[in-house]
C-alpha cells in the first residue's frame, strides 16, 4: 500500500495531484505520535496527513469511515468522483483520467 502510494506521489509530482492522508494512529498520545514518527521514517511516507484524532468529532466519524483504508477520489473542483477503488492498476487509471481533466481545466 505505502510503497505504491509513494510511487504515485513521485510519478505525478509535477502534475496537479496530491495524496492527502487522514491518519488514525493515536497521535494525541505520546506513544501514538512516536509510532507515527518512527514509521513515517521507516516506511518513507512523503505525503501530508491530517491528524484524525485532533478534530472533534474525528474526521473519520464525520466521513462515516467504517473500515481502513478508505479512499475518496476528489477532482480538481472538489467533487467526489470515486470511492474505495483499491486495485493498483485501476487506481492509476482513474487518477490519470482525473489529472488529465484537471490539466485541461487549467488551460
69 belongs to the binding site for another protein (CB under 8 A): yes
Q: Which residues contact 23 (CB under 8 A, 6 or more apart)?
A: 36, 49, 50, 51, 52
Q: Are 51 and 27 in contact (CB under 8 A)?
A: yes
Q: Which three three-digit cell numbers place residue 35? A: 509510532
Q: Of residues 11-40, which lie at the interface with another protein (CB under 8 A)?
A: 16-25, 27, 33, 35-37, 39-40
6 belongs to the binding site for another protein (CB under 8 A): no
Q: Which of 64, 87, 104, 107 touches another protein by CB under 8 A?
A: 64
| Residue 78 exposure: Cα atoms within 13 Å on the Cβ side | 0
Residue numbers at the binding site for another protein (CB under 8 A): 1, 5, 8, 16-25, 27, 33, 35-37, 39-40, 43, 48-52, 54-55, 59-60, 62-66, 68-84, 91, 95, 98-99, 102, 106
Amino acid at each position: 500500500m505505502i510503497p505504491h502510494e509513494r510511487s504515485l506521489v513521485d510519478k505525478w509530482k509535477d502534475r496537479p495531484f496530491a495524496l492527502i492522508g487522514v491518519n488514525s494512529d493515536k497521535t494525541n498520545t505520546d506513544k501514538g505520535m512516536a509510532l507515527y514518527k518512527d514509521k513515517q521514517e521507516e516506511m518513507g511516507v512523503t505525503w501530508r496527513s491530517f491528524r484524525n484524532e485532533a478534530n472533534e468529532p474525528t474526521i473519520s466519524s464525520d466521513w462515516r469511515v467504517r473500515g481502513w483504508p478508505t479512499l475518496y477520489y476528489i477532482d480538481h473542483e472538489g467533487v467526489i468522483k470515486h470511492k474505495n477503488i483499491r486495485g493498483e492498476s485501476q487506481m492509476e487509471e482513474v487518477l490519470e483520467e482525473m489529472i488529465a481533466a484537471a490539466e485541461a481545466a487549467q488551460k
